[in-house]
Structure 1
Amino acid sequence: MNSWFKNYKGIILLITGIIIGSIAGAVLGNKVEIIKPIGDIFLNLLFTAVVPLVFFAIASAIAALDSSQKLGKLLGVTSLVFVSTVLVAAIVTIIAIWIFPIHQHLVASPITEAITKKPFGDQLTSLFTTSEFYQLLSRKSMLAMIIFAVITGFATLHAGEKGKAFANFLHSGNEVFKNIFILIMRVGPIGLGAYFAYQVGVFGPQLFGGYARSMALYYGVGAFYYLALFSAYAFIAGGVSAVKRYWKNNIVPSATAVGTCSSIATIPANLDAAKKMGISDAIANITIPLGGTLHKDGSSISSIVKMAVVFALFGKSFNNAETIIIALAMTVLVSLVEGGIPNGGYIGELLFISAYGFPPEALPPAIIIGTLVDPMATLLNATGDTVAAMLVARFTEGRGWMKPEAP
């Protein structure tokens, strides 16, 4: 019994903190705003650690590759897995909307945040690069930092013996920042508890407003995708044992994702879970950080729901082939350009509204839905990365990819 409690102590404390926070939010309502800074401090600690952790994880993984490990194949399979699961999520949602149509009982609300629209060229430039080195240290430049980490890893690999000392530095940095994450997560029950209290207390009442129908559809499809499709992906990757291992180690990443509403903040938890799932470091340290920025099953589902709501509001059909094809293409694009940070979907909303030629009035309802579904969307975005890494391992390393279960 003592051994069991020792193994699951962290998870038990985390769930306890979340339950207490949720109850406090439901009972106290808006009064829980007073403890929001506690959740913010926890989230800031995660964000502070995650940028260097991702850099060291990717750069050290590439620097450690040998001639027998084909990075090109790994990245190719990773891209195919990411795009495939995003499209599956979108198709499942479209079918659900056809079965349970969203009626026009929605009232648009004013925009609560100012959104500036940059020229497309500037958006593309800022997405992949920064003009100063220090800007790579911001979580808002995650994709640019990931690209720089890949270049650094390749440069270290090609430097050979002369780069050995730097490669050791990268490996040491990776280990140090993984331990920093472990230390931060010791206050996770308090930090996530405070965040859950705030979410339930402040946003809970809105769930029963005019957007209840679309919310119910989203959370229903999301729950189905989370339980059924993730289990199916894990089964494809490694059979029943992979399914058991996935769900056994998916609790902490799930709680972190819902509590922080950030895929990026969940990367450290995912890396730790991937190791326990038996995924090799060479695969996990590349696919999971990439997934935190580029792979978003939850955003794919929310994009389709937002499109369906906007189409209903403006009296347009969401059933013709051209509309569906554009919708599928938009979900892939949105998955690539959305940031892995809270409320990062505004760019995606602007994209699909522009693509379909809707007026600016279409933006507020999309933003409202995006805000209300953010916890579930992040849960799917973040925890989908580890099961995607399982699939990548299966298709790159073969049937025997699972390493012995880590303690």
Structure 2
Amino acid sequence: MINTQKSSILQHYRFPIFILIAIAIGCLLGTWLGPKASALKPIGDIFLNLIFTIVVPLVLVTISSTVANIANLKTLGKILSIMLVVFIITGFISAIIMLGATHFFPPAEGVQITLPKPETTEPLKTTEQIVSTFTVSDFKDLLSRKNMLPLIIFAILFGMAISLAGEKGRKVAQGLDALSEVMMKFITIIMWIAPIGLGAYFANLVGVFGPQLLGSYARAVAVYYPTAIIYFFVFYTIYAYIASGKVGIRSFWKNILTPAVTSLGTGSSVATIPANLAASAKIGVDREVREIVIPIGSTIHMDGSCLSAILKITFLFGIFQMPFTGFDTYLTAILIAILSGVVMSGVPGGGFIGELLIVTMYGFPPEALPVLAILGTIVDPPATMVNSTGDTVAGMLITRILKGKNWIKENVTGTKELNAKE
């Protein structure tokens, strides 16, 4: 009996273990080779390109299929409204956590940075930005990961049209359902090379960015990395418990490792969509929830970005020797963090726009932009990990609200059948 249990555990964790070993080897290579480790980056790029190639059709097919098969479109509206509330609440909590961390450990204390002049920047054009956020001018522009939010909106509308078409639309819905299953198998094939691709990526990250972590940004890194890790382990455990008690905690941590290391290595929430979808399915998150929340969450649910936004704000206040105190200052920082993490992330060039928003809202000189860009690059790996894995636990919370506290127990049979097939 004990041997059988050990065999089952090893079988379940075999793939994540391979990935962790590959990442460890990559980190050692990066340390040994230094900047020369960039020669391994093309290997990681091959894996990442395969993931990005499949993401657009995967999102289009899965979302439209899910929406088309939802019997009552009111359910779709309910999922989307609950999703937005969950995203904002978790973003608010993450901003509060980083505010506390930076209060006790100011990230710019004793730091001397010469501010370089930035490239020419253009002012924000709100109306044009809104249009480009939600729409594109040509269908071919939808077929790009750079326009994920317009693609998601198109997929939702397409699925609604299929549902409203009644009997004639049912055949299309069935075809999309079958195609969705094929796409998931396609993802399984691509993930076979994940250990090699992620190992190469980590070698590049450690080799190229390692020296910067020991420079002027070391204190900011020393604040951000532990805070992000604490938020990841502690608060995602709390969210999983709220979603489904101790069973939810076990199920979440049993399945989240692969998406976590994928996001950490690739630095992309979009590239982690396939792994998050697979993990959510194994956890037992309803299909109509996971196939809507995971793709949308990859563009607008950014707890890690909320953490980094607060870090960037306090870092600039420290550099310019401005007091970061007072309720109004804190509230403004939280609102900017949520805006840049939940709203701006869905905008093309959202990362830069979020940084530009910080500079303009507080009246910092334009020379502060490159400082934020460098800091953003350094903290990006853990920020992306927090961003993307947060989508899975958000799906659990949304399912809890929609289906009640026993949702995961009711889905355990389906989850076991899924694991058995794999």
Structures share fold, TM-score greater than 0.5: yes
| CA distance, structure 2, for counterparts of residue 340 and residue 42 of structure 1 | 25
| CA distance, structure 2, for counterparts of residue 2 and residue 230 of structure 1 | 28
Q: Does 1:199 align with 2:205?
A: yes
Write the letter of the residue equivalent to 2:392: T
Q: In structure 2, the residue corresponding to 1:265 is in which secondary structure?
A: coil
Partner of residue 297 from structure 1, selected from 299, 303, 313: 303
Partner of 2:99: 94
Partner of 2:289: 283
What per-residue deviation string (whole Å, max 9, x for no partner) do you get for residues 333-378 of structure 1? 112222599x962221011111212110111111111000000000
| CA distance, structure 1, for counterparts of residue 190 and residue 397 of structure 2 | 29
Partner of 2:161: 155
What per-residue deviation string (whole Å, max 9, x for no partner) do you get for residues 88-135 of structure 1? 000111111112223141414547888665522222211110000010
- Evaluate the alpha carbon distance shift between residue 259 and residue 129 of structure 1 in structure 2; reply closer, same or farther with a 3 A threshold: same
Partner of 2:344: 337
1:2-401 mapped onto 2 (5 Å cutoff) = 3-67=8-72, 70-102=75-107, 103-108=109-114, 110=116, 119-335=125-341, 336-338=343-345, 345-401=351-407
Report the CA distance between 1:6 and its aligned residue: 3.5
Structure 1, 368-377 or 326-335: larger mean CA deviation: 326-335
Write the letter of the residue equivalent to 1:334: S
| CA distance, structure 2, for counterparts of residue 161 and residue 394 of structure 1 | 32
Q: In structure 1, the residue corresponding to 2:367 is in which secondary structure?
A: helix
Q: In structure 1, the residue corresponding to 2:390 is in which secondary structure?
A: helix
Write the letter of the residue equivalent to 2:313: M
| CA distance, structure 2, for counterparts of residue 114 and residue 14 of structure 1 | 42
TM-score by length of 2: 0.92
Report the CA distance between 1:170 and its aligned residue: 1.6
- Overall identity of the aligned pairs, in %: 44
| CA distance, structure 2, for counterparts of residue 113 and residue 371 of structure 1 | 17
Report the CA distance between 1:313 and its aligned residue: 1.2
Report the CA distance between 1:297 and its aligned residue: 0.3
What per-residue deviation string (whole Å, max 9, x for no partner) do you get for residues 178-200 of structure 1? 11111111000110010000000
Q: In structure 1, the residue corresponding to 2:270 is in which secondary structure?
A: helix
Report the CA distance between 1:9 and its aligned residue: 2.6
Report the CA distance between 1:5 and its aligned residue: 3.9
| CA distance, structure 1, for counterparts of residue 393 and residue 311 of structure 2 | 24
TM-score by length of 1: 0.95
Segments of 5+ residues of structure 1 without an aligned counterpart are: none
CA contact (8 A) 1:127 1:337 kept: no
- Evaluate the alpha carbon distance shift between residue 344 and residue 254 of structure 1 in structure 2; reply closer, same or farther with a 3 A threshold: farther
- Evaluate the alpha carbon distance shift between residue 344 and residue 259 of structure 1 in structure 2; reply closer, same or farther with a 3 A threshold: farther
CA contact (8 A) 2:73 2:160 kept: no
Segments of 5+ residues of structure 2 without an aligned counterpart are: 1-5
| CA distance, structure 2, for counterparts of residue 134 and residue 269 of structure 1 | 26
| CA distance, structure 2, for counterparts of residue 58 and residue 113 of structure 1 | 39
Q: In structure 2, the residue corresponding to 1:8 is in which secondary structure?
A: helix
CA contact (8 A) 2:118 2:369 kept: no
| CA distance, structure 1, for counterparts of residue 381 and residue 20 of structure 2 | 16
Structure 1, 281-290 or 100-109: larger mean CA deviation: 100-109
- Evaluate the alpha carbon distance shift between residue 136 and residue 224 of structure 1 in structure 2; reply closer, same or farther with a 3 A threshold: same
Pairwise CA RMSD: 1.9
- Evaluate the alpha carbon distance shift between residue 268 and residue 327 of structure 1 in structure 2; reply closer, same or farther with a 3 A threshold: same
CA contact (8 A) 1:230 1:387 kept: yes
| CA distance, structure 1, for counterparts of residue 137 and residue 367 of structure 2 | 34
| CA distance, structure 1, for counterparts of residue 217 and residue 73 of structure 2 | 53
Write the letter of the residue equivalent to 2:244: G
What per-residue deviation string (whole Å, max 9, x for no partner) do you get for residues 276-296 of structure 1? 111110111111111101100
Write the letter of the residue equivalent to 2:66: A
Q: In structure 2, the residue corresponding to 1:315 is in which secondary structure?
A: coil
- Evaluate the alpha carbon distance shift between residue 115 and residue 170 of structure 1 in structure 2; reply closer, same or farther with a 3 A threshold: farther
Write the letter of the residue equivalent to 2:54: A
What per-residue deviation string (whole Å, max 9, x for no partner) do you get for residues 359-402 of structure 1? 10111111111000000000000001101111101111111211
CA contact (8 A) 1:234 1:390 kept: yes
Q: In structure 2, the residue corresponding to 1:101 is in which secondary structure?
A: coil
Structure 1, 200-209 or 329-338: larger mean CA deviation: 329-338
Q: In structure 1, the residue corresponding to 2:275 is in which secondary structure?
A: helix
What per-residue deviation string (whole Å, max 9, x for no partner) do you get for residues 113-163 of structure 1? 886655222222111100000100111100010111110111111111011
| CA distance, structure 1, for counterparts of residue 122 and residue 186 of structure 2 | 35
Aligned length: 406
Write the letter of the residue equivalent to 2:240: A
Structure 1, 190-199 or 93-102: larger mean CA deviation: 93-102
| CA distance, structure 1, for counterparts of residue 218 and residue 89 of structure 2 | 30
| CA distance, structure 2, for counterparts of residue 35 and residue 340 of structure 1 | 31
- Evaluate the alpha carbon distance shift between residue 4 and residue 248 of structure 1 in structure 2; reply closer, same or farther with a 3 A threshold: closer
CA contact (8 A) 1:298 1:376 kept: yes
| CA distance, structure 1, for counterparts of residue 122 and residue 33 of structure 2 | 35
Write the letter of the residue equivalent to 1:135: D
